[in-house]
Structure 1
Amino acid sequence: MDTTFVKGLTLIELLANSDEPRGVTSLARELDLTKSNVHRLLTTLVATGYVRRNDANASYELSSKVWEIGLKVGSRFNLAKIARPHMTQLAELTGESVHLSVLDMAEVVYMDKIESLQPIRSYTSVGGRAPAWCVATGKAMLAQLPPETLRLRLTQPLTAFTDQTMTDADVLAAEFAAIRKQGYAVNRGEWRDGVFGIASAISDATGRVVGAIGISGPGTRFKPREIKSWGLMVVEAAQAVSRLVGGTGRGD
């Protein structure tokens, strides 16, 4: 048996079960390995794209590459397949485009999308990315992260893409608190001028956020009354998907 390979797999599993990025010292202690051994393993995993290093505090966490592999072989846990019926229902109820996103550091990756049938709609593509602090699905997921993890992901200074983009840490903290309280996030033209969105996070059996479901479209159609009613619909859809992947579906 290749012991180095086994150590590498054990390290990947440990990082997968960690809620926050980990340092070499704590990893070495938990694995009962020397720090130099762990550092060599991490260097290899970073070079092969399975782990990413945060230079700000020399911590490590898994990259989206592990998730991408899991999507190919994890038919028993296919989030897009599970969420699709609820996305379809949401599209029918609102008439807007519906997205399913996952979080990759400070960006969202669009896993699935149902296009609105309306002539004027938002334009995104499956596999595309967007800054998480600017879009509804991203804000919904960021709001559920532990403060330290959130701080590491949203490294200042943040880029402003429109006049509505929130970049101040205190403003974002207040925004995330409001999102946790009401259960859904709203993007009011923060990524692209005039494009609004509403989204809610999806959680698994451990309470960990695994994605977000949301709608988007021209801001002219997102009036206060619609935002409130559609927000409740989005929360209901996210909670339904959460229950299907083992979560409580309570939006805790």
Structure 2
Amino acid sequence: MDANPSPVESVDRALRILQLLSRSATGLTLDELVSASGLPRSSLHRLLAALKHRGFAAQYNSHSPYFLGSEAVAVAFGYYERMDLRTLIRPVMVTLQQRLQETVHMAMLDGGDVVYMDKVESTQAMRITSVIGGRNPAHCTGVGKAMLAWTYPTDEAIRMWIEKYAPLTGRTRNTLTSPARLIAELARIRDEGHAVDMEESEDGVRCVAIPVFFGKPAPVAGISVTAPKGRMTVGRMNEIAAELKREVIERMPPGSD
């Protein structure tokens, strides 16, 4: 378990128990919880009783294993149903803009398009046509490809998406308009964990993007960093990709298996 001390030990212990229960689909016995948590049996029994009282832990009978309770599931799903993605992601966008000094977008996938939900402008001079509420074809943009790669995680799934939203229109001479090339690019994105836009949506503009999962199997949004190609060398794009991954993985839960 985490060796860092918690400011409130009893609360920390209860949260550790919830973490352990959430990782076992078949439940954990009291002995297994004692072994995994390192907590004294008597303390663990009291904490489990409190969690059961609030519905965050469950037990079929006094001799059965402990499971994550229905209230824990209700709280989690209720939160996801009501969460305001823009409010949650905005602090990450601001942090990235301050560190990188480039424009940061947050977008969502809507059919064949991405819709820009938020934008933090670069402090450096640049011209970019994106606006909040605006749309772009998903296959033309880094943020769109980042979401497509995991929303449609197999070649067959993306072929069906392409058939539905065909043709793959070209915005610039660099746009991927061939289904085979797009399928190969999405496979590369899944391997590397990030997407790039090499002037595929606008001439002279490049971006790096990653998906945001918030614990769900498919992306709920995507975040991109955009800049003129003069500031977006391949080396810097790799550095930005690493920064995006560090910031988002640290502050937002990855997708579930």
Conservation of the 8 A alpha-carbon contact between 1:135 and 1:190: yes
Select which of 90, 94, 100 maps to 1:84: 90
TM-score after normalising by structure 1:
0.64
Match of 1:33 in 2: none
Alignment equivalent of 1:185, drawn from 173, 187, 195: 195
Distance 1:134 1:248 in 2: 24
Aligned pairs for 1:135-154 (under 5 A) are 135-144=141-150, 145-147=152-154, 148-154=156-162
- Residue number among 228, 240, 250 corresponding to 1:218 in the alignment: 228
Would the aligned equivalents of 1:212 and 1:238 in 2 still touch at CA under 8 Å? Answer: no
- CA deviations 1:125-157 (Å, max 9, x no partner) are 111101100111000001112434423332332
Alignment coverage as a number of residue pairs: 175
Deviates more, 1:119-128 or 1:86-95: 119-128
Kindly report the root-mean-square deviation, in angstroms, between the aligned alpha carbons of the 2 structures: 2.1
Question: Could you tell me how far apart the structure 2 residues matched to 1:233 and 1:189 are?
Answer: 21
Tell me the equivalent position of 1:235.
245
Amino acid at match of 1:123: T
Structure 1 counterpart of 2:198, which letter? R
* CA–CA distance in structure 2, aligned partners of residues 142 and 238 of structure 1: 18
**Do the aligned partners of residues 112 and 75 (structure 1) sit closer, same or farther apart at CA in structure 2, a change above 3 Å counting?**
farther
Greater mean alpha carbon deviation, residues 208-217 or residues 153-162: 153-162
Alignment-derived partner of residue 131 in structure 1:
137
Q: How big is the shift at 1:204? A: 3.1
2:218 corresponds in structure 1 to 208
**What's the CA shift for 1:109?**
0.3
Please state whether the residue corresponding to 2:177 is helix, strand or coil. Answer: coil
| Partner residue, 1:102 | 108
TM-score, normalised by the number of residues in structure 2: 0.63
Contact 2:216–2:255 (CA under 8 A) maintained in structure 1: no
Describe the superposition over 1:48-79 as per-residue Cα deviations: whole angstroms up to 9, x where unpaired: xxxxxxxxxxxxxxxxxxxxxxxxxx894111
Q: CA deviation at 1:238?
A: 3.1
Question: Is the 8 Å Cα contact of residues 219 and 255 (structure 2) preserved in structure 1?
Answer: no
Once the two structures are superposed, residues 81-119 of structure 1 have per-residue CA deviations (whole angstroms, 9 ceiling, x without a partner) of 111111011101111100000000110000111011112
Residue deviations 1:218-248 (CA, integer Å, cap 9, x gap): 11110111011001112223324532xxx45
Measured against aligned partners, the alpha-carbon deviations of 1:16-58 in whole angstroms (never above 9, x if no partner) come to: xxxxxxxxxxxxxxxxxxxxxxxxxxxxxxxxxxxxxxxxxxx
Deviation at 1:206, TM superposition (A): 3.1
Change (3 A) 1:110 1:79: same
For residues 175 and 141 of structure 1, the distance between their equivalents in structure 2, rounded to whole angstroms, comes to 12
Aligned-partner Cα distance in 2 for 1:76–1:182: 31
Say which of 144, 152, 162 aligns to 2:172: 162
CA contact (8 A) 1:82 1:241 kept: no
Poorly superposed stretches of 4+, deviation over 3 Å: 146-149
Name the stretch that deviates more: 120-129 or 215-224: 120-129
Q: CA deviation at 1:183?
A: 0.8
The answer (yes or no) to whether the contact 2:218–2:255 under 8 Å persists in 1 is: no
Stretch of structure 1 that moved more, 101-110 or 234-243? 234-243
Report SS of the residue matched to 1:209.
coil
Any unmatched runs of 5+ in structure 1? 1-73
The amino acid of 1:88's aligned partner reads V
Distance of 1:233 and 1:161 partners within structure 2: 28
More displaced stretch, 173-182 vs 145-154: 145-154
